Amino acid sequence: MSNATRTFTVAVVGATGAVGETMLSILAERDFPVGKLIALASARSAGGTVDFKGQKVDVLDLATFDPTGVDIALFSAGGGVSKEYAPKFAAAGAVVIDNSSTFRYDDDVPLVVSEVNPHAAKHRPRGIIANPNCSTMQLMPVLAPIHREYGITRVNVATYQSVSGAGRSGMEELGKQTAQLLAFQEIEPQKFQAQIAFNLIPHIDDFQPNGYTKEEMKLVWETQKILEDKSILVNPTAVRVPVFYGHSEAVNVETRKKLTPEAARALLAAAPGVEVVDEHKAGGYPTPVTHASGQDPVFVGRIREDFSHPSAINLWVVADNIRKGAALNAVQLAELVAAGG
Ligand code: A2P
């Protein structure tokens, strides 16, 4: 059967979660050739249903599911679940596309952004392709063309990450705390380390021995791996902000060859998956709510020369962390696999 007519048995692991649910809608939107859709979650959700192409699909318990016959498995149920079950799905013959950080830094697992390094997806000795972390993901389609043409030496980045990056419970906590505080009630942080409503928290994932958090180090490790250049220096600060959908990043990029704002605008306007929104007027820049939420592209604005440095440029990069930052790229990787890549 040719790839044009072939259909695939697709399993979504974590189908009831914020990313899993979006994976289902993006598979449908992009008309991915799904022959059979299998929705998997924990025993808590088994017996319920999720929507796929207007139909109700039963949610099955991952713990008792036999992966034989699954062609492509999209995992977004956390690192522990990936660690235990992804190898089992791969051993049963599925190509696993994993959204957790479990396998990302293993040399024999490709880490792929569909527009940037699709060639890497072809070599997957363990049957697993890793989906980058959301904050790295949105930066790559922007940095890749700059690195190719101008040679990036160093990146300073501060992230402004929405609560949906912490899953459904993150969104529930922001909603609940906001309502409680507006009603003059006491709040008690559960999901996040401090009050998230009307606040921001410079702490995502665990602290590392070097004083950075793991979320910050993901930006370092993943940028070097995806751009295939260990010499790129990355200095990140990752911050959780009270925004529901859409991560933003203030990025300073130092280059070997000088990059002017005009050249950057032209280069990024032509970059796949990137949209430039850069006018010097109110609203002439992307924000999570006005541009990114629910949209596929990575938006770039506030492009300006760093006047404190001989060869550096400032960028403001915004994307929907659940779509391009997770579910969309996972489906794009499934498309690469389906196309024989
Ligand atoms: P469940 O609904 O059964 O808890 P989010 O990141 O939005 O919190 O979503 C996490 C997803 O991962 C959910 O679909 C959740 O299913 C799923 N999940 C969490 N733990 C497990 C587990 N042990 N086995 C299977 N799925 C899990």
Examine the residue annotation and report whether 134 is marked as an active-site residue of this protein: yes
The residue annotated as part of the active site, out of 134, 280, 291, 309, is 134
* CATH match for 136-321 among 3.30.360.10, 3.40.50.720, 3.40.50.300, 3.30.420.40: 3.30.360.10
Which one of 119, 123, 203, 247 is the catalytic residue? 247
Helices (H), 113-189: 134-150, 168-182
User: Domain locations in the chain?
Assistant: 8-132+326-338, 136-321
CB 338 within 8 A of CB 33: yes
Secondary structure (H, E, C), 205-220: CCECCCCCEHHHHHHH
Alpha carbon distance 132, 138 (integer Å): 9
Q: Looking at ligand 1, which atom is closest to the CA of residue 80?
A: 23
pLDDT value at position 5? 80
- Mutating to test ligand 1, I would choose from 81, 84, 168 the residue with most ligand atoms within 8 A of its C-beta, which is 81
Among 56, 96, 99, 103, CA closest to 77: 99
Q: Which atom of ligand 1 is nearest to the CA of 78?
A: 12
Q: Ligand 1: which residues within 6 Å by Cβ?
A: 14-18, 20, 41-42, 44-45, 62, 77-78, 81, 167-169
Find the 262 Cα to ligand 1 centroid distance in Å.
45
Report the distance separating Cα 185 and Cα 288, nearest Å.
28
CATH fold match for the domains 8-132+326-338 and 136-321: no
- How many angstroms does the Cα of residue 62 sit away from the middle of ligand 1? 10
Q: pLDDT value at position 2?
A: 45
Helix axes of 328-338 and 18-29: crossing angle, nearest 10 degrees: 50
Query: In the CATH hierarchy, which fold is given to the domain comprising 8-132+326-338?
Result: Rossmann fold (3.40.50)
Amino acid at 235: N
Cα separations (Å) of 111 from 88, 171, 199, 307? 20, 27, 33, 34
Beta bridge partners, 56, equal: 51
pLDDT of residue 341: 63
Q: Tens of pLDDT along the chain (341 residues)? A: 445 589 999 999 999 999 999 999 999 999 999 999 999 999 999 999 999 999 999 999 999 999 999 999 999 999 999 999 999 999 999 999 999 999 999 999 999 999 999 999 999 999 999 999 999 999 999 999 999 999 999 999 999 999 999 999 999 999 999 999 999 999 999 999 999 999 999 999 999 999 999 999 999 999 999 999 999 999 999 999 999 999 999 999 999 999 999 999 999 999 999 999 999 999 999 999 999 999 999 999 999 999 999 999 999 999 999 999 999 999 999 999 999 96
